[in-house]
């Protein structure tokens, strides 16, 4: 028999069983689609960030930067005139909100076109109309935008746009568009307003100051210039700050990718079940082929070849489905990045060649891995044995101790890796995978034990049918064991991830209750955090204090500062007020001793910073770049914080003003007089601040908004775990169809002996109910182990946050409901087939 004839026979078999082939295609397609969607979302966000960074940094090799208030523009003049550094360009940069576009964040970039051409092609303004360019210099409100941006918002030359800048509402006017250079991308300028540098200084309230000076220098020139810089000004490699921002999302994206692979792993269980189903169906045919001289190697290759074809079709379908899912995933991922890291506009989600190759490779790999054992089974069984279905289960029962032993070994190896990999996130995720797979391999053995325990209970509850149901699950363990393992992994992932999210949310909620002690908060609208760069005038304190019902106004200043560990968030506060209010929970030490040191010039470090940098209070210190040059600050304590993953420091406003020439503020906490209604106070404050566009929020509203952002952050996580359950559900359908086929003669005999269709339906439902119950029960300890690892290992190593594990009893009932629902729903189609089966046809088998 030639290879071509074998393949034709195999493909005819696949076409005769469209439902079975469709299940295998769907399992691979769903697994690949989830991975492709997440990869597409991560790649699109990364590409948007890369384009934005390239547009802003351009061909600069170095940058001169200062503190939060920037650097004096007189330095630029001295640089070009006195030191002769001609390859230099001034830049003013800041964020504003477009009021008429639902407060869409826009980046203002102030440049000097006469000197900017060597740095940025986009901003050389070549191809820009001369009249438009004249407006750029003469109109202090003039801005240039990309053509795509103008079309998207319906802007034309002369269109005015109202923007929120700190505590002011300003107006800019569209002067023209900047077409991308040949081979360039308009996406690089997405949501960027290009202005004359002097106009940008006025708009952003930075008159006399620059955000940075871009330079093109050789190594020797850089060394010479570094030695001539005034105090508080630093020469850094171009793109250093944007590179640091990009690194912030690496742990977040890696965890998403790991979770997406869960659906593919569950899909491998499905492939195993479906291919084994196919082998079981054709055992008599395969046995006949062996008897006619076909070798075991040829059968092995035949099973793998047909699986590869089906897996390739599934992977191709998964690419298309992944592209559709990816469009939604891009929105969720970019929203999370905007909420937690930096402002990013992602407009495109193209399916790139690297993602397509990755999806197809994973689909084929998962398909072939899932088909390996069934192929070995088909190749290794002697011809006579191959014609007897009972041999497969006999071999499966002999494998159980070996499979369970392998599971124990993987569990031990994974546990050791978790202890050994103290900081590596990737190694920790691989160790977690080893633990989960190891526990999954122990499921068949546990199923045998549980079914033996369930036998007497089922006999008392349902008589002979109950006993048959329990025995049937064990008797068909080659299919049921894999289906139960797949569903167990999916349900345990639901328990583990749900427990992690619940614990995290509870920890954050308790932390918010501790730190949100003010009655009302005033801030500029837009994303929170230092990356937004809000600058509010200090005279707002007096205006707020004048409002009736205000007892105390507490100002805060939050900025990004450079340290030996990269850029970190620094918040300056009223130290005495914070000490008296007890707003922080410290890892160790008494608040009185800690605040005494802070009032004396020390800082307190957030837990993520201390974990990442290995800082220990009482003996550690941190060096910060200030406007007075590098300064070292002792660390008085480590406090729990869930706002800044990059790490944060807190110091007093007095200390901050001592080392930084920055009097701007970021937000205010308002404490009301006793008996004052907060809603009435907030209304009076809004009237006082009318025309500034500042947000006034009462305590409870701010808390709810923080938790809403938290829930939005985990929306994509919930979607991924749901898809894993869907794939496991398909695997359960496949296992039940295999059982029905394999037991068709048995079921027909029972009908011939007087068993009614209703009794057979109850038998099938009891079997599926037992499988679902076993999956749920086994998922409880596995889910708890997964939750503990996620909370105490993965989360800590990824983000540096301590979370208190909190298990809600309802999670176990939820797992039981999911397991039973998935199993019972999976029984609908097999029951439909069972009720339509003919007794005579079943008895004629074999």
pLDDT, tens digit (0-9, with 9 covering 90-100), for 586-625: 888 888 888 999 999 999 998 888 888 877 765 688 999 9
Position 530 scores a pLDDT of: 45
343 has pLDDT over 60: no
**Which tops the pLDDT comparison, 834 or 212?**
212
Please report where in the chains the tokens 């409880």 appear, as a residue: 780
- The dihedrals phi and psi of 445, each to the nearest 5 degrees, come to -65, -40
Alpha-carbon gap, residue 410 to 431, rounded angstroms:
9
Q: Residue 259, SS3? A: helix
Averaged pLDDT for residues 325-344: 60
Position 609 scores a pLDDT of: 87
Position 633 scores a pLDDT of: 95
Position 716 scores a pLDDT of: 65
Alpha-carbon gap, residue 40 to 32, rounded angstroms:
12
Q: b/e for 655-676, b at 16 or more Cβ within 10 A?
A: bbeebbbbebbbbbbbbbeeeb
651 has pLDDT over 80: yes
**Which tops the pLDDT comparison, 61 or 626?**
626
- The percentage of the chain sitting over the pLDDT mark of 70, rounded to a whole number, equals 73
Residue 7 pLDDT grade (very low, low, confident, very high; cuts 50, 70, 90)? low
Residue 94 pLDDT grade (very low, low, confident, very high; cuts 50, 70, 90)? confident
What's the token pair of residue 34? 């989830």
Q: What is the dihedral of CA 598, 599, 600, 602, to 10 degrees?
A: 20
Please report where in the chains the tokens 């023209």 appear, as a residue: 176
Position 641 scores a pLDDT of: 84
CB 438 within 8 A of CB 411: yes
- What separation in angstroms does the CA of 814 have from each of 5, 485, 487, 773, 811? 51, 18, 14, 12, 5
Averaged pLDDT for residues 160-179: 87
The tens digit of pLDDT for each residue in 751-794 reads: 777 777 788 888 878 888 888 888 888 988 888 888 898 888 88
Position 495 scores a pLDDT of: 83
The tens digit of pLDDT for each residue in 443-496 reads: 889 988 898 888 888 888 888 888 888 888 887 777 677 778 877 877 887 788
CB 448 within 8 A of CB 477: yes
Alpha-carbon gap, residue 310 to 24, rounded angstroms:
7
649 has pLDDT over 90: yes
129 has pLDDT over 60: no
Residue 53 pLDDT grade (very low, low, confident, very high; cuts 50, 70, 90)? low
CB 425 within 8 A of CB 798: yes
- What separation in angstroms does the CA of 250 have from each of 104, 257, 551? 25, 11, 44
Please state whether beta strands 62-65 and 234-237 pair in parallel, antiparallel, or not at all (unpaired). antiparallel
CA 146, 147, 151 angle in degrees (round to 5)? 120
**Which tops the pLDDT comparison, 124 or 306?**
306
632 has pLDDT over 90: yes
Rg of the chain in Å (alpha carbons): 33
Please state whether beta strands 566-573 and 603-606 pair in parallel, antiparallel, or not at all (unpaired). unpaired
Beta bridge partner(s), residue 805: none
352 has pLDDT over 60: yes
Alpha-carbon gap, residue 476 to 448, rounded angstroms:
11
392 has pLDDT over 60: no
Position 434 scores a pLDDT of: 86
Residue 736 pLDDT grade (very low, low, confident, very high; cuts 50, 70, 90)? low
Residue 1 pLDDT grade (very low, low, confident, very high; cuts 50, 70, 90)? very low
Position 463 scores a pLDDT of: 83
515 has pLDDT over 90: no
Position 417 scores a pLDDT of: 86
Alpha-carbon gap, residue 113 to 93, rounded angstroms:
15
- DSSP secondary structure letters along 801-843: --------THHHHHHHHHHHHHHHHHTHHHHHHHHH--HHHHH
**Which tops the pLDDT comparison, 250 or 820?**
820
802 has pLDDT over 80: yes
Alpha-carbon gap, residue 615 to 621, rounded angstroms:
8
439 has pLDDT over 70: yes
- DSSP secondary structure letters along 41-101: HHHHHHHHHHHHHHHHHTT-SEEEE-BTTBEETHHHHHHHHTS---SEEEEEEEEEEEGGG
Q: Is the pTM of this model over 0.75?
A: no
Please state whether beta strands 629-639 and 621-626 pair in parallel, antiparallel, or not at all (unpaired). antiparallel
Please state whether beta strands 168-177 and 142-145 pair in parallel, antiparallel, or not at all (unpaired). parallel
Q: What H or E segment, with its residue span, contains residue 185?
A: none
Position 769 scores a pLDDT of: 84
Which spans in 421-476 are helix H? 425-441, 443-475
Altogether, the residues listed in the chain come to a count of 846
Residue 172 pLDDT grade (very low, low, confident, very high; cuts 50, 70, 90)? very high
Position 678 scores a pLDDT of: 87
Position 846 scores a pLDDT of: 47
Position 9 scores a pLDDT of: 64
The rounded mean pLDDT for the chain is 78
Please report where in the chains the tokens 């690892």 appear, as a residue: 789
Position 533 scores a pLDDT of: 62
CB 425 within 8 A of CB 797: yes
The tens digit of pLDDT for each residue in 301-330 reads: 877 887 788 888 888 888 888 888 777 666
- What separation in angstroms does the CA of 556 have from each of 116, 514, 538? 36, 17, 10
**Which tops the pLDDT comparison, 237 or 64?**
64
Alpha-carbon gap, residue 225 to 209, rounded angstroms:
20
Identify the DSSP state of 358: H
What's the token pair of residue 143? 């801005």
Position 34 scores a pLDDT of: 75
534 has pLDDT over 80: no
CA 299, 300, 306 angle in degrees (round to 5)? 85
CB 540 within 8 A of CB 167: yes
């Amino acid at each position: 028999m030639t290879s071509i004839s074998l393949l034709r026979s195999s493909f005819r078999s696949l076409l005769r069983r469209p439902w079975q082939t469709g299940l295998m295609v769907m399992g691979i397609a769903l697994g690949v689609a989830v991975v492709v969607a997440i990869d597409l979302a991560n790649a699109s966000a990364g590409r948007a960030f890369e384009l934005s960074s390239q547009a802003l940094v351009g061909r600069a090799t170095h940058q001169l930067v200062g503190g939060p208030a920037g650097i004096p523009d007189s330095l630029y003049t001295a640089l070009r005139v006195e030191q002769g550094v001609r390859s230099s360009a001034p830049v003013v940069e800041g964020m504003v909100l477009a009021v008429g576009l639902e407060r869409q964040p826009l980046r203002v970039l102030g440049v000097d076109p006469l000197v900017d051409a060597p740095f940025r092609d986009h901003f050389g303004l070549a191809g820009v109309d001369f009249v438009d360019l004249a407006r750029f210099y003469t109109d202090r409100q003039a801005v240039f935008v990309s053509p795509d941006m103008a079309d998207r918002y319906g802007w034309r030359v002369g269109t005015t746009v109202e923007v929120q800048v700190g505590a002011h509402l300003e107006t800019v006017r569209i002067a023209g568009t900047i077409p991308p250079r040949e081979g360039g991308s308009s996406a690089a300028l997405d949501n960027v307003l290009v202005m004359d540098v002097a106009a940008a200084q006025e708009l952003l309230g930075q008159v006399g100051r620059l955000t940075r000076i871009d330079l093109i220098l050789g190594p020797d020139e850089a060394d010479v210039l570094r030695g001539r810089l005034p105090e508080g000004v630093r020469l850094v490699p171009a793109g250093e700050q944007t590179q640091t921002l990009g690194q912030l999302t690496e742990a977040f994206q890696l965890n998403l990718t790991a979770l997406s692979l869960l659906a593919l792993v569950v899909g491998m269980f499905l492939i195993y079940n479906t291919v084994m189903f196919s082998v079981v169906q054709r055992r008599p045919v395969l046995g006949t082929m062996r008897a006619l001289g076909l070798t075991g190697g040829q059968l092995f290759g035949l099973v793998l070849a047909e699986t590869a074809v089906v897996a390739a079709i599934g992977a191709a379908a998964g690419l298309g489905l992944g592209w559709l899912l990816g469009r939604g995933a891009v929105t969720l991922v970019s929203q999370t990045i905007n909420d937690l890291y930096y402002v990013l506009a992602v407009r495109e989600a193209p399916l790139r060649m690297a993602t397509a190759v990755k999806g197809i490779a994973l689909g084929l790999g998962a398909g072939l891995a899932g088909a390996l054992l069934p192929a070995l089974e088909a190749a290794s069984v002697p011809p006579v044995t191959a014609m007897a279905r009972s041999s497969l289960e006999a071999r499966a029962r002999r494998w159980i101790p070996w499979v369970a032993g392998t599971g124990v070994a993987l569990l031990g190896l994974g546990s050791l890796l978790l202890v050994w990999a103290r900081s590596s996130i990737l190694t920790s995720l691989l160790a977690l995978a080893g633990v989960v797979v190891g526990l999954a391999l122990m499921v068949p053995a546990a199923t045998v034990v549980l079914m033996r325990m369930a036998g007497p209970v089922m006999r008392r509850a349902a008589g002979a049918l109950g006993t048959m149901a329990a025995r049937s699950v064990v008797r068909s363990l080659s299919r049921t064991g894999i289906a139960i393992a797949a569903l167990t992994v999916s349900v345990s992932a639901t328990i583990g991830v749900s427990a992690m999210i619940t614990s995290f949310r509870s920890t954050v909620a308790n932390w918010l209750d501790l730190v949100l002690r003010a009655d009302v908060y005033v801030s500029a609208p837009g994303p929170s955090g230092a990356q937004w760069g809000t600058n509010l005038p200090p005279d707002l304190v007096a205006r707020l204090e004048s409002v009736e019902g205000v007892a105390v106004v507490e100002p805060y200043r939050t900025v990004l500062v450079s340290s030996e560990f990269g850029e970190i968030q620094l918040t300056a506060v009223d130290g005495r007020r914070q000490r008296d209010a007890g707003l922080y929970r410290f890892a160790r030490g008494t608040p009185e001793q800690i605040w005494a040191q802070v009032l004396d010039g020390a800082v307190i470090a957030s837990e993520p910073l201390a974990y990442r940098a290995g800082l220990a209070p009482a003996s550690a210190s941190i060096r910060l770049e200030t406007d007075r040059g590098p300064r070292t600050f002792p660390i008085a304590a480590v406090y729990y914080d869930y706002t800044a993953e990059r790490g944060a420091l807190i110091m007093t406003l007095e200390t901050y003003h001592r080392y930084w020439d920055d009097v701007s503020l970021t937000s205010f906490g308002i404490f009301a007089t006793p008996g004052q209604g907060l809603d009435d106070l907030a209304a009076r404050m809004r009237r006082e601040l009318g025309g500034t566009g500042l947000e006034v929020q009462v305590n409870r509203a701010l808390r709810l908004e923080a938790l809403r952002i938290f829930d939005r952050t985990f929306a994509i996580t919930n979607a991924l775990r749901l898809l894993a359950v869907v794939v496991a559900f398909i695997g359960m359908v496949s296992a039940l169809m295999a059982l029905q086929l394999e037991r068709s003669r048995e079921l027909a005999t029972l009908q011939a002996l007087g068993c009614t269709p209703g009794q057979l339906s109850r038998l099938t439902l009891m079997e599926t109910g037992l499988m679902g119950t076993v999956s749920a029960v086994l998922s409880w300890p596995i889910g708890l182990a997964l939750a503990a690892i996620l909370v105490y290992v993965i989360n800590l190593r990824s983000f540096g946050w301590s979370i208190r594990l909190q298990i809600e009893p309802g999670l176990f009932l939820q797992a039981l409901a999911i397991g039973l629902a998935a199993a019972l729903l999976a029984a609908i189609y097999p029951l439909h087939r069972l009720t339509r089966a003919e007794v005579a046809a079943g008895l004629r088998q074999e």
